[in-house]
Structure 1
Amino acid sequence: MHSSLTEHARCVYGDEYQPTPECGREHREHYFVEELTFADAESILTMLRELCPNVCDGYLPVWIRNLAFRLVLLQRPNEPELMRAAAESLYLHGPDWDDIAADLDRRADALETAA
């Protein structure tokens, strides 16, 4: 058993900054996705920060990164900083996602203006 979502991600995808831990288990992506799906926002953010500290790095697949940001935003829907981080990631992997990223930026602006 992995001690954290980050450790599980490291085992499945590797880590650009740290060696992949040897845990002796067979890794199937769908088990990681199940854990990610039900993880709390802080665990997901920790994973993203550790495995992708810059927007254009890390070994996490783009679809995993996008899913992670989506799950965080569902748990924390009114945090402009998180919306902007998700938008930045989407812009990087666009242009298919540029309209969604632009909407996240607009929503973040609206939240900041209302505050």
Structure 2
Amino acid sequence: MVSPYDNPPSRSVNGDEYRPTPACGQEHREHYFVEELTFADADATLSMLRELCPNLVDGQLPVWIRNLAYRLVLLQRPDEPALLREAAQNLWLHGPDWDDVAAELVRQAEELEAR
């Protein structure tokens, strides 16, 4: 599967502070990016997150896209404590609205490690 990061519409929609946007003949709309993200595998999604948001506190992806990406990764890999914690850290950075969800992700990570 093609990484959502490598898809030219995603890079044009979300930007990339590290490389120039590649030329392509496609229309650049957010829904094309979300469609690619929805069906990307976990490795491709994590690659995109790490390239476009190399530090948790900044990055080129909107918060809602980051949250969606982590949710999709966790649906594919629900038993990886490190990913659960990474997703929780992302949620804690974006206000108290998601603190309960972040705490639950950490609890799940701890439960998995205790097994």
| Partners of 2:80 and 2:109 within 8 A in 1 | yes
Q: Deviations over 1:53-109 (max 9, x none)?
A: 111121101000000000000000000000011000000012100100010011101
Q: Following the alignment from structure 2 to structure 1, what is the Cα–Cα distance between the partners of residues 82 and 68? A: 17
Q: Where do 1:1-115 residues align within 5 Å?
A: 4-8=3-7, 9-114=10-115
| Partners of 1:5 and 1:47 within 8 A in 2 | yes
| Partners of 2:3 and 2:45 within 8 A in 1 | no
TM-score by length of 2: 0.91
| Partners of 1:83 and 1:108 within 8 A in 2 | yes
| Partners of 2:3 and 2:40 within 8 A in 1 | no
| Partners of 2:49 and 2:66 within 8 A in 1 | yes
| Partners of 1:11 and 1:22 within 8 A in 2 | no
Aligned AA (1:86): A
Identity score, percent? 70
TM-score by length of 1: 0.91
Give SS of 1:6's match: coil
CA RMSD of aligned residues (A): 1.2
Give SS of 2:24's match: coil
For structure 1, the residue ranges without an aligned partner over 5 or more in a row are none
